[in-house]
């Protein structure tokens, strides 16, 4: 019997082995006392002396080969734990997370951008006084700008802040410039609950006061923000506006995130959408706080607005209805 023939037979037979019992009989057939390998060793004695060393080497190597393959086969079959075939297509015992509210996701994203530019996060109270919400922001009792804010009042005479801007005053009263803060939070206005209005919504206020802060700094910072929150090719445009607590004041428009400026329903075919109001902190406010030597910029943006533009959500009420089918789309 030729060695190569034995090898071939073994290779074929080992493939057919399905159980430990079959494996054992195969082992006996080849490696047992009266097995094929021992038969070959017996044959060795009959060979002429010059062929012995070579033949011996080959038989040894065949024996090692068979041993190794039998070991592998044994591992493959297993240690004897009995397994039955399972239906791999049944659904798993599902482990999953919940969801994060889209307004939280966007707020976090915006906060991260400004934190990356050196801003710190602070919070203000939702119940405010008339003084901090209006008067200290250069909007005295008879100012027509108050008409733009339909205010919720409390019976004790205080009010629910109509914007996050009171935080500007609160922070500046406590801490001297240089100051760089952003203040996310909930704000309130008496507004119908319709696709674009909600009596409760969220804003993020920004404030940077230092020596020689310029309008150019404001525009540059916000342009950078827009590129990061929307896309690097977003363009920013500033148009003059009016807020009692900033001078000069501006509104920022960005190239429409939906059509990229081509014109679509979202941007009313203008190619631009308005996303926030901003300006240089009004001189009167800085002087009232004793910071006449400083300049600063401030901005305020609606979180819902940014979220709607970024995620393509067309009804602000979805954020407050909290339908799980809506919420589960955000992770």
Partner 1 sequence: MRVIYSWLREWVDFDFSPERLAQVFESLGMGVEAIEKDGDEVIYDLEITPNRPDLLGVIGIAREISAYTGNPLKRTIDFELQTGEGIEVEIENPDDCPRYTASVVSGVSVRPSPDWLSRRLELSGIRSLNNIIDVSNYVLLEMGQPIHIFDRESVDRIVVRRARDGEKILTLDSVERELDHDILVIASSREPIAIAGVMGGELSGVRDTTKDVVVESAFFNPGVIRKGRKKLNINTESSYRFERKADIGIVHIAQSYTVKLLKEVCGGKDVSPMVDTNPDYRKGVYVSLDVDRINRLLGTDYSKQDIEETLERLGFEIQTDKVFVPTFRRDIELPEELSEEVARLKGYNTIRRRVRTVVNEVAVDENLTLRKFRYVLEGMGLNEVKSLSFMPSGFDPSVKEELALANPMWPDRTVMRTTLAYGMLKIAEHNLHRGRPYVRIFEVGRVFRPEEKTMLGVLVAGVFPRRWFAHEREMDFYDIKGIAEGMLVESGLEGYRFVEGERQIYEKGFSLDILVDGERIGDLGLLKQDIIEMDAFFTEVESEKLLKNFLKKSEFKGVNRFPFVKRDLSLIIPQGVENSTVIGIIREVGGFVEKVDVLDVYTGKGIPEGCRSITYRIHFRYPERTLRAEEVEEKIERILDKLKEIDVVLRQ
Q: What is the dihedral of CA 136, 141, 147, 152, to 10 degrees?
A: 70
Contacts of 151 (CB under 8 A, 6+ apart): 133, 159, 160, 162, 188, 189, 190
Cα separation, 293 vs 44, in Å, equals 107
Strand pairing partners for 128? 159
Least Å distance, CB 277 to partner 1, is 11
Which single residue is written with the structure tokens 């901005």?
Answer: 299
* 14 versus 111: smaller Cβ distance to partner 1: 111
Q: Are 209 and 281 in contact (CB under 8 A)?
A: yes
Minimum distance from residue 130 beta carbon to partner 1 (Å): 12
- Minimum gap (Å) between residue 191 Cβ and partner 1: 9
Contact residues for 211 (Cβ-Cβ < 8 A; gap 6+): 177, 178, 293, 294, 295
3-state DSSP call for residue 211? coil
Taking the least distance from each CB to partner 1, the nearer of 241 and 288 is: 241
Nearer to partner 1 among residue 10 and residue 188 (C-beta): 188
d(CA 234, CA 318): 26
Helix (H, G, I), strand (E, B) or coil at 87: coil
Q: Which is nearer to partner 1, 10 or 119 (by Cβ)?
A: 119
Instruction: At 280, list the tokens.
Output: 């240089």
By C-beta, is 100 or 311 nearer to partner 1?
Answer: 100
> Residue 79 Cβ, how far from partner 1 at the closest point, in Å?
25
Q: How far is the CB of 140 from partner 1 (least distance, A)?
A: 9
**Pick 50 or 323: Cβ nearer partner 1:** 323
162 in helix, strand or coil? coil
Tell the smallest beta-carbon distance from residue 81 to partner 1 (Å).
22
Regarding beta strands 246-255 and 295-302, do their DSSP bridges make them parallel or antiparallel, or are they unpaired? Answer: unpaired
Shortest gap between Cβ of 314 and partner 1 (angstroms)?
Answer: 18
List, as one string, the DSSP characters of 237-259.
EEEEEEETTEEEEEEEEEE-TTT
Nearer to partner 1, 40 or 103 (CB): 103
Contact 311, 192 (CB under 8 A): no
Closest CA to 281 of 295, 267, 301: 295
Residue 67 or 186: the one with the smaller Cβ distance to partner 1 is 186
| Smallest separation (angstroms) from partner 1 to the CB of 63 | 44
Task: Provide the Cα torsion 230, 232, 238, 244; round to 10°.
Answer: 50
């Amino acid at each position: 019997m030729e060695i190569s023939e034995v090898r071939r037979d073994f290779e074929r037979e080992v493939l057919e082995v399905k159980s430990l019992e079959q494996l054992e009989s195969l082992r006996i057939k080849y490696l047992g006392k009266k097995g094929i390998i021992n038969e070959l060793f017996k044959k060795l004695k009959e060979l002429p002396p010059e062929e012995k060393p070579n033949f011996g080497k080959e038989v040894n190597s065949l024996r090692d080969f068979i041993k190794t393959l039998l070991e592998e086969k044994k591992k493959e079959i297993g240690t004897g734990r009995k397994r039955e075939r399972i239906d791999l297509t049944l659904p798993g015992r599902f482990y999953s997370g919940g969801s994060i509210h889209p307004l939280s996701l966007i707020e976090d994203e915006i906060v991260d951008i400004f934190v990356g530019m050196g801003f710190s996060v602070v919070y203000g109270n939702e119940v405010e006084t008339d003084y901090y919400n209006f008067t200290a922001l250069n909007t005295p009792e008879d100012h027509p700008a108050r008409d733009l804010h339909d205010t919720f009042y409390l019976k004790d005479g205080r009010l629910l802040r109509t914007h996050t801007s009171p935080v500007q005053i609160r922070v500046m009263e406590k801490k001297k410039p240089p100051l760089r803060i952003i203040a996310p939070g909930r704000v309130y206005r008496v507004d119908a609950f319709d696709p674009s209005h909600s009596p409760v919504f969220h804003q993020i206020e920004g404030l940077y006061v230092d020596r020689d802060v310029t309008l150019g700094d404001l525009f540059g910072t916000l342009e950078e923000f827009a590129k990061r929150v929307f896309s690097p090719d977003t363009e920013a445009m500033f148009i003059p506006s009016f807020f009692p607590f900033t001078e000069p004041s501006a509104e920022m428009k960005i190239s429409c995130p939906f059509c990229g400026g081509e014109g679509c329903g979202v941007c009313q075919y203008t190619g631009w959408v308005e996303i926030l109001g901003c300006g240089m902190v009004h001189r009167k406010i800085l002087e009232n706080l004793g910071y006449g030597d400083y300049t600063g910029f401030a901005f305020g943006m609606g979180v819902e607005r940014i979220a709607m533009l970024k995620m393509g959500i067309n009804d602000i009420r979805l954020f407050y209805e909290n339908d799980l089918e809506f919420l589960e789309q955000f992770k």
